[in-house]
Each structure stands twice: as C-alpha cells, then as structure tokens.
C-alpha cells in the first residue's frame, strides 16, 4: 500500500534534509577553517548555495536556512555573541533577492549559465551586505568590512558552480509545488 504525503509533509522533509546537509557541511568547513587550515586567508561556505536552492524550491522558507547557516557557522568558528547577530540576522538580507528570483521564474535558471551565475552572486552579495550592515550597527569599524568580502571570494565561485550544476538536474532548481504536480501528472501517464 503506497502512502501519499501532503505538500506540507513533503516541504518539512525537504527543508529538513537541506538543513541537515547544510549544517553538517558547514560544521566540517568551520572545523577545517579553525583547526586544520587556520593560517588560510580564504574560507568557503555552503550556506549561500543551499539558501539559493531552497529559495527557488520554497521561496521565503530560505530565511530559515540563511539564519540557521549563520548560526552554525558562528558555532563552528567558536564566535562571540555579536557574531551570532551579524551572521544569523545579517544573512536574512538574502530575502532581497527573492522578488528578483520570482520575477525571473525558476524556469529561467535552466540552461542559462549567465543567469545562474548572476543569481548565485546576488545571493552571496545580499548575505554579505546584510552582515556588513549588522556588523556596522554592532560597532565593527568600516575599514574591516572589505576583509569579509575578500575572504569569501571562494564562496562566490563555489555558490555559482553549485547553482549551475543544480540547474542542470531535473527538479532540483524547481518550484516544489510545481514539481510535485508535474511528477503526479507524469505518474498518471
């Protein structure tokens, strides 16, 4: 007997799986940055890539992943309370990209490498801009802000590569209510 899940149940499972993947990956990356590669001037994060994918799939639910990713990053880096504010709240600026992504439509990300890269870059930039604003509000000197951008340069490339790859896979970068309807239709035939 086959059990059908509701869209709400599917959403919870999907969001939870992406959160788990993001948290585990970010924990390993944070540990690498603090213990194994502590002398490195560069960092990479999966948070923007996962947040961007969730944005396409579930819209504003990506805010959960953006904030959670910031919190996991700070925990992994053994940060201070101010950093929780900077990363947890600052990452929510990614929601500024949502209207543009909705205007473009998820379909426009398929087979359009320039749009994929632009979407990825805007996602990372929005998160960094949000963190910069919160950092300034919490007393970070303005001259320290360029350091955040230069250390994250690999994250820009990584996020662009992940979004481009995801756009080539069926159903990954697709509005999930649409995906569920499409799969149900295909099963009927």
Q: What is the full per-residue pLDDT of the chain (189 aa) written as tens digits? A: 567 889 999 999 999 999 999 999 999 988 877 777 666 666 789 999 999 999 999 999 999 999 999 999 999 888 899 999 999 999 999 999 999 999 999 999 998 999 999 999 999 999 999 999 999 999 999 888 887 677 778 899 999 999 999 999 999 999 999 999 998 898 887
Q: What are phi and psi of 116, to 5 degrees?
A: -60, -50
Measured between alpha carbons, how far is 45 from 53 in angstroms, rounded to an integer?
A: 14
The answer to whether 172 touches 53, Cβ cutoff 8 Å, is yes
How close are the terminal C-alpha atoms of the chain, in Å? 20
Provide the pLDDT for residue 154: 86
pLDDT of residue 39: 63
Q: How far apart are CA 52 and CA 159, in angstroms?
A: 9
- Neighbouring CB atoms inside 10 A of 34's CB total 12
Residue 157: what pLDDT? 92
């Amino acid at each position: 007997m086959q059990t059908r899940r509701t869209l709400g149940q599917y959403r919870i499972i999907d969001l939870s799986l992406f959160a788990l993947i993001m948290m585990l990956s970010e924990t390993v990356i944070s540990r690498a940055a603090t213990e194994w590669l502590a002398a490195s001037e560069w960092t990479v994060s999966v948070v923007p890539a996962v947040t961007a994918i969730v944005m396409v799939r579930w819209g504003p639910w990506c805010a959960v992943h953006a904030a959670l990713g910031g919190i996991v990053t700070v925990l992994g880096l053994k940060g201070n309370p101010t950093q929780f504010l900077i990363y947890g709240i600052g990452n929510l600026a990614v929601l500024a990209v949502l209207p543009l992504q909705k205007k473009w439509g998820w379909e426009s990300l398929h087979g359009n490498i320039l749009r994929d890269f632009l979407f990825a870059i805007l996602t990372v930039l929005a998160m960094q801009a949000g963190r910069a604003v919160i950092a300034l509000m919490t007393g970070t000197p303005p001259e320290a802000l360029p350091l955040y951008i230069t250390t994250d340069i690999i994250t820009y490339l990584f996020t662009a590569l992940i979004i481009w790859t995801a756009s080539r896979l069926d159903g990954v970068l697709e509005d999930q209510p649409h995906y569920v309807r499409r799969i149900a239709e295909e099963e009927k035939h």
